[in-house]
């Protein structure tokens, strides 16, 4: 692959990185908002109506997760521990439970069934999210340790 000449100085390069960073997160949260709004507006979730947004959102999410793990980066402000994973999974479970409760109640108008379904969805989301975060945390710790490991004398030749 041919490397192009960079016409930017260091300050411009940093500014471009900030712009790209903000654009990435704007796209991420914008796609999530678009998916949620379409879900509320169209009632029953039809994959065909939001397939494009969903695919781009998932590709972006996977890219960010894999790239961060490969570079040994967890988060700028959150600590890499089980407590953080527990809280994040709890929030994800609560949000998914609430979102699905609204959607289910809107479609079927059965309070007891809605609550039961929402609790089941919240618990499943919590468990899956906690497991995935724990696996990613361990992979990040291993990758970070491998990157920080001093090269041996035999490797320097």
Give the whole-angstrom CA distance, residue 137 versus residue 132. Answer: 8
Reported pTM? 0.77
Q: How far is C-alpha 139 from the geometric centre of its chain's CA atoms?
A: 16
For 31-57, how does the pLDDT look when each residue is reduced to its tens digit (9 = 90+)? Answer: 988 888 887 776 666 677 778 888 999
Averaged pLDDT score across all residues of the chain: 87
Q: How far apart are CA 71 and CA 29, in angstroms?
A: 23
Q: Which of 55, 12, 57, 15 is nearest to 33 (CA)?
A: 57
Give the Cα-Cα-Cα angle 109, 112, 113 (nearest 5 degrees): 70
Per-residue pLDDT reduced to its tens digit, 95-122: 999 988 988 888 888 999 999 999 999 9
Q: Could you tell me the residue ranges of all domains in the chain?
A: 12-70, 75-150
Q: For residue 56, what are the contacts with CB-CB under 8 A and spacing of at least 6? A: 27, 31
CA distance 125 to 150: 39
């Amino acid at each position: 692959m041919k490397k192009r000449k960079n016409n930017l100085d260091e300050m411009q390069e940093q500014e471009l990185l900030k712009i790209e960073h903000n654009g990435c997160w704007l796209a991420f949260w914008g796609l999530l908002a678009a998916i949620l709004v379409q879900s509320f507006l169209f009632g029953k979730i039809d994959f065909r109506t939001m397939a494009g947004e969903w695919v781009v959102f998932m590709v972006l999410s996977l890219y960010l997760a894999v790239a961060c793990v490969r570079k040994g980066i967890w988060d700028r402000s959150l600590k890499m521990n089980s407590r953080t994973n527990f809280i994040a999974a709890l929030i994800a479970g609560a949000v998914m439970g609430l979102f699905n409760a609204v959607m289910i109640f809107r479609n079927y108008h059965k309070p007891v069934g809605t609550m039961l379904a929402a609790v089941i969805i919240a618990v499943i989301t919590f468990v899956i999210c906690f497991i995935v975060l724990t696996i990613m945390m361990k992979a990040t710790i291993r990758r970070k340790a491998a990157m920080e490991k001093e090269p041996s004398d035999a490797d320097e030749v």
